[in-house]
Amino acid sequence: MDSIEKILFLPHCLRKAQTCKATIDKNGYNCKFCNIDCKVGIIKKYAEKRGFSVFIAPGGTLVKNIISKYNPKTVIGICCKKEVKLALDYLKNYSGTIDYIKLCKDGCINTDVNLNEVYSKLDKY
């Protein structure tokens, strides 16, 4: 079985919907780093430099599938309050480290997150 040590899940709603050129496949969206102001690309680069595999998820089913497939030791998600509850319910028997960062602006499109909070959280792992 494949294994990944650390995973960061980003919500697809964090993308700049008007300009995003990301493609999508069974592992979620694939960032093309098309917009320098897009926080998805900024966070993805930062996280990967710290050893995280980054998945841009269109929904909770992908998160479940990725966790089941790779069994990571650490899972961090950036998400809205509602998704935090769903993820924690799903992962209640998970033996690894679970952490999250709540969006500071939600609403399912053009959401936002505090980059300093993201950097601080990623640097802990």
**Span 47-77, pLDDT tens digits:** 999 999 999 998 788 988 999 899 999 999 9
Query: Cα(first)–Cα(last) distance of the chain, in Å?
Result: 23
**Span 5-56, pLDDT tens digits:** 999 999 998 988 788 899 999 999 999 988 777 899 999 999 999 999 999 9
Return left, alpha or beta for 108; rule: phi > 0 is left, psi -120 to 50 is alpha, else beta. left
Pairwise CA distance, residues 53 & 104, whole Å = 23
Asked whether the predicted pLDDT for residue 119 surpasses 90, the reply is: yes
Domains identified in the chain and CATH numbers: 6-123 (3.40.50)
- How many C-beta atoms lie closer than 10 Å to residue 18's C-beta? 8
| Beta carbons of 102 and 11 less than 8 angstroms apart | no
112 pLDDT band, cuts 50/70/90, is very high
pTM value? 0.91
